[in-house]
């Protein structure tokens, strides 16, 4: 079955972004345009070379409007975005848990592994975090190293730093998630 997806691009303080939605305006993928064709490669790997059709959106989608509000300081706006990523059962579990980390807060990979009931799966959690096709909305940037350091982020550490600072400026942190972050 071929899926119909819609693409739209817009400018953000972190660079120009491209998002992919479906006909029901569920967010399927997000990436920065300067990351080349990584977004299309992800779509091909999960839906097959001929498993999707990509068209342009006729008007700004609900996910785009929510992301624009997020970048304008309404960081909670992304919580209402409906998503439908494709991944393994474990990846989907991790991505669901990521959405529970409140804006302005951070969590270590080990704490995230414990949260999903798999405390020994720290590396697998890291791999699932790195495979997240919907950064920001599925906030993989909120996961940090056990020593509170910034660690890998597909968008780059400068963007991760910006996103965390932005959220801490515009959101009230929720405990017990906050770890002292070294930016």
Active site residues per annotation: 140
Dihedral sign (CA 106, 112, 115, 119)? negative
Q: Which DSSP helix (H) or strand (E) runs through 56?
A: strand 52-56
Q: Is the peptide bond before 33 cis (omega within 30 degrees of 0)?
A: no
Distance from C-alpha of 70 to C-alpha of 120, rounded to nearest angstrom:
34
Residue 128, both tokens: 């699932």
Nearest to 139 by CA among 86, 79, 182: 79
Which residues, 6+ apart, have CB-to-CB distance to 163 below 8 Å? 14, 136, 141
């Amino acid at each position: 079955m071929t899926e119909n997806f819609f693409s739209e691009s817009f400018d953000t303080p972190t660079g120009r972004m491209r998002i992919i939605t479906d006909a029901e305006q569920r967010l399927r993928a997000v990436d920065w345009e300067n990351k080349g064709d990584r977004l299309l490669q992800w779509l091909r790997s999960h839906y097959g070379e001929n498993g999707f059709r990509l068209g342009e959106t006729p008007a700004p989608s609900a996910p785009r409007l929510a992301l624009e509000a997020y970048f304008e300081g309404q960081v909670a706006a992304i919580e209402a975005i409906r998503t439908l990523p494709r991944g393994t059962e474990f990846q989907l579990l991790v991505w669901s848990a990521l959405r529970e980390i409140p804006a302005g807060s951070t969590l270590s990979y080990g704490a995230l592994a414990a949260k999903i009931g798999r405390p020994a799966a720290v590396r697998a959690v890291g791999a699932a975090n790195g495979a997240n096709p919907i950064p920001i909305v599925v906030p993989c940037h909120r996961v940090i190293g056990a020593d509170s350091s910034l660690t890998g982020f597909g968008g780059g550490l400068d963007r991760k730093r910006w996103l965390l600072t932005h959220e801490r400026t515009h959101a009230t942190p929720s405990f017990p998630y906050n770890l002292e972050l070294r930016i």
